[in-house]
Structure 1
Amino acid sequence: MNVNNYHFHTTVTEFLSDEFFISSMLDPTAESDLFWQHLLAEGKISEATFLDARQKLLGEPKPMDPLRKVELFMRIRDAQVARPKIRHLYRYAAAIVLATVGASLWFYFQRTAISDNSEALLAATEDSTGIRLVTNGDQTLQISGKEAVLDFSNAENVKLNTQTIELSKKEEAIQHEVHVPLGKRMSLVLHDGTKLWVNAGSSIQFPSHFSDNKREVRVNGEVYADVTKDPKKPFVFHTKEFDVQVLGTSLNIHAYEQDAKHQVTLVEGSVRMKSKTGEYMLSPDQAYFKSGQVEQVKKVDVTFFTSWKDGFYRFKDQPLQDVIHNLERYYGASIAYEPKISTLKCSGYLDLQEDLQAVLRGVAFSMDIQLKKENNTYKLYQKPM
């Protein structure tokens, strides 16, 4: 790349539309590194803009102070923290690499509309109309909106978003169950201060307060947890396939009962895994995987498994069918596709605040396939010969 012939980008959008920038970030060489160092040293490009574009492309986490973490955890759609508005009609905010036969294609997306829930995926939850809090199996609270925060840290003052809610108060622990439909998310603060991010299509059972010697919850789906440390009260997550015991740590549990693959990813601390066939200890940056009867523990980049809670999706060498399945669950939409394209391997980054239809348009364009929408269902298929 000749510096004299290079267009000096001034926005993140321009960087993310530049094939040379993308390739040199994903597969850097000594020459490409020197090229960018020269532009930065000469002040021909903004260092802040360059690093922001790099972060969006590679998913590298930015440092965040504790107060900002709390603010992000407690944010509510259309309440305390408003979504940023689109400044331009075309805002390129997501990128995927599709590895096809002999080629890698990058594409970007713009906003449009979201489709309705998939009939097949609706089996994951009993009710697709809204988040539900069920108390003692009979008292049900319907929660509107795509995101919500339930805070049980103060037993006398339970809060939904910023409002206090009335629940039955008893000295003994009351059992609660939260159901989060497809296309929605919830943040949950338990009585001990443990924070949970509950992904779409998930449910979690928990008590109003924990007993003197144990803390136990049951998970069906995906949950990211920051567990409050208490050496006298180990915290146990129960799933259909395994139990996870922790004292105080940050981890992600992916355990949808209807899925064939399950995993636990450890960010901080240590955990003990116990399945029907064995026990495993995890250290930070390790993940436990279970598929059928096969179990293994290996070192991973945790951001590929935890980024969903921060509103974006990173994936590497995943079959297109797995990416589509995750998008269906997150957006609460139905996406049909031909078997011929299901095994294409994908790597990249998606901004989950962006619109699903725009994502699929990019997929169709880059793979030279067609996209259409029929009866609230998206369909991806090869073009007729």
Structure 2
Amino acid sequence: MQKQEFQQLIDKYLNGQATADEVQLLMELFDNAQTNNDWDEQTLGVKHELEDKMLQRLQSAVQQSQAEHQPKIFRLLAFRNVAAAVIGLMVISAGAYYSMQRKATDKAVANKAVVKHDADPGKNQAVLTLDNGEKVVLDSARIGTIAQKRNVSITKTKDGQLVYQASRGSDSPANGPVTYNTISTPRGGQYQVILPDGSIVWLNAASSLKFPTAFTGNQRHVELTGEAYFEVAKNPSKPFAVNVGALNVKVLGTHFNINAYTDEDNIKTTLLEGLVQLTSGNSHSLLKPDEQGIVKGDNIQVVEVDAQRAVAWKNGFFDFNRATIRDIMKQLSRWYNIEVVYKGKVSDDEFMGRIERSVKLSQVLHVLELSRVHFKVEDKKITVSP
């Protein structure tokens, strides 16, 4: 392709006039230039300009989608070779591209083998284990009061919440010994629980929360596995603490997320509002809003982050920020309840982007395949290959 034609193609893309075929061609041209290290001064200058403009476009598209509350799937961008990334071609928002091609894409995807064994997204489902060992399957339990323990009623709402509250006329729901309940979500499940003190907890897939049916004494303690987002009711005289193995997260009243899956390398606590103290062994750290504490063993590292990314799952999105395909597949595995295996050397490319969690598995895999990752789906197993 002549340089003049190449520049015209770039201009069409930046003006939003490029067809899907032209976008694909542009991607291939830049990718070939990166592979062959064939950057001349003009092309390299265009590349840097595209990086800035397209990153701005992606951010704008995401913000517009959120403002309009419209269901959109945003194409992931792949950082190839990271340091000298060809961001220009991969930073493509599906706000325009995907919506224009959606009907054609859906028809094409329907003919792929990946749909033959499709999977629905996760939903509100969990099991409540009472203090006597009785188990209540919440997704099939009727709406209304599902248990009455001493002076505490346990209610399921139509919105998929589990609510603990003192019975009417009871001034002291905590009389008698403290009893504990555990709510557990399976792979492919999520649930929300309102604790006896009014604190709200959102549980992600494959997670569990153990808590007392009434908070007595001068502290409030719960135990977490997996991932959860907390909005803690303020009570300065009774601090709230979350135990995650050896890690203790102590707060008075605040909003934060804890990711503590056992297949992750570390535990991440991300603060959105308030102040929390992290304690692991002899290490202690305070977090401020938009900070994340990364805990591995007794070591605590505090970094600045965009805290909203950490709770995207609670708001209905996968939000990938320079995530590898293995990072992404861990999340898909939990949410779609599938097994993931790898064949051959899978690229270390990093991906950035946002995809709704309400779509079928095939749609997510199709978005990923646009960045040259391949999948084979058989029953509840996905094989990932280059």
Q: TM (normalized to structure 1)? A: 0.69
SS at match of 1:27: helix
1:136 is aligned to: 131
Cα deviation, 1:17-49, whole Å, max 9, x if unaligned, reads 9x99xx9897239xx98xx9xxxxxxxxxxxxx
Q: For 1:28, which of 25, 28, 53 is the aligned residue?
A: 53
2:258 equivalent to 1:256: no
CA distance in 2, matches of 1:212, 1:94: 48
Q: Percent identity?
A: 23
Cα deviation, 1:238-286, whole Å, max 9, x if unaligned, reads 1113000100000001112443211100000001111013011111111
> CA separation of 1:339/1:329 partners in 2, compared to 1, >3 Å: closer, same or farther?
farther
- Cα drift, residue 175 of structure 1: 0.9
CA distance in 2, matches of 1:135, 1:251: 26
Check the 8 A contact 1:150/1:188 in 2, yes or no. Answer: no
Check the 8 A contact 1:272/1:282 in 2, yes or no. Answer: yes
- Cα drift, residue 150 of structure 1: 10
2:73 is aligned to: 93
CA distance in 2, matches of 1:150, 1:264: 33
- Cα drift, residue 138 of structure 1: 1.0
2:154 equivalent to 1:158: yes
1:115 is aligned to: 119
Q: Which moved more, 1:336-345 or 1:352-361?
A: 336-345
SS at match of 2:196: coil
CA RMSD across the alignment:
4.3
Q: For 2:380, which of 370, 376, 383 is the aligned residue?
A: 376
CA distance in 1, matches of 2:253, 2:163: 29
- Cα drift, residue 297 of structure 1: 0.5
Q: For 2:361, which of 356, 364, 371 is the aligned residue?
A: 356
> CA separation of 1:24/1:198 partners in 2, compared to 1, >3 Å: closer, same or farther?
farther
Q: Which moved more, 1:171-180 or 1:278-287?
A: 171-180
- Cα drift, residue 53 of structure 1: 2.8
Residue identity opposite 1:228 in structure 2:
A
2:217 equivalent to 1:237: no
CA distance in 2, matches of 1:167, 1:290: 34
SS at match of 1:358: helix
Check the 8 A contact 1:289/1:297 in 2, yes or no. Answer: yes
> CA separation of 1:56/1:197 partners in 2, compared to 1, >3 Å: closer, same or farther?
farther
2:71 equivalent to 1:55: no
Q: For 2:233, which of 228, 232, 240 is the aligned residue?
A: 228
Cα deviation, 1:36-66, whole Å, max 9, x if unaligned, reads 9xxxxxxxxxxxxx99734167xxx7599xx
1:71 is aligned to: none
Residue identity opposite 1:133 in structure 2:
L
CA distance in 1, matches of 2:261, 2:145: 22
CA distance in 2, matches of 1:98, 1:322: 13
Check the 8 A contact 2:340/2:384 in 1, yes or no. Answer: yes
Check the 8 A contact 2:153/2:166 in 1, yes or no. Answer: no
Cα deviation, 1:194-223, whole Å, max 9, x if unaligned, reads 010000000000111110411110001111
Check the 8 A contact 1:134/1:178 in 2, yes or no. Answer: yes
- Cα drift, residue 332 of structure 1: 1.4
- Cα drift, residue 293 of structure 1: 5.2
CA distance in 1, matches of 2:146, 2:248: 25
- Cα drift, residue 136 of structure 1: 0.9
> Is the helix fraction higher in 1 or 2?
2
> CA separation of 1:300/1:7 partners in 2, compared to 1, >3 Å: closer, same or farther?
closer
2:190 equivalent to 1:188: no
1:81 is aligned to: none
SS at match of 2:181: strand
Which sections of structure 1, spanning at least 5 residues, go unmatched?
10-15, 37-49, 65-83, 85-90, 118-128
CA distance in 2, matches of 1:167, 1:2: 61
Check the 8 A contact 1:241/1:275 in 2, yes or no. Answer: yes
Greater C-alpha Rg: 2
1:123 is aligned to: none
Higher relative contact order (CA 8 A, sep 6+): 1
> CA separation of 1:381/1:166 partners in 2, compared to 1, >3 Å: closer, same or farther?
closer
- Cα drift, residue 313 of structure 1: 1.8
1:306 is aligned to: 311
Check the 8 A contact 1:149/1:188 in 2, yes or no. Answer: no
Check the 8 A contact 1:149/1:186 in 2, yes or no. Answer: no
CA distance in 2, matches of 1:294, 1:63: 42
CA distance in 1, matches of 2:326, 2:239: 38
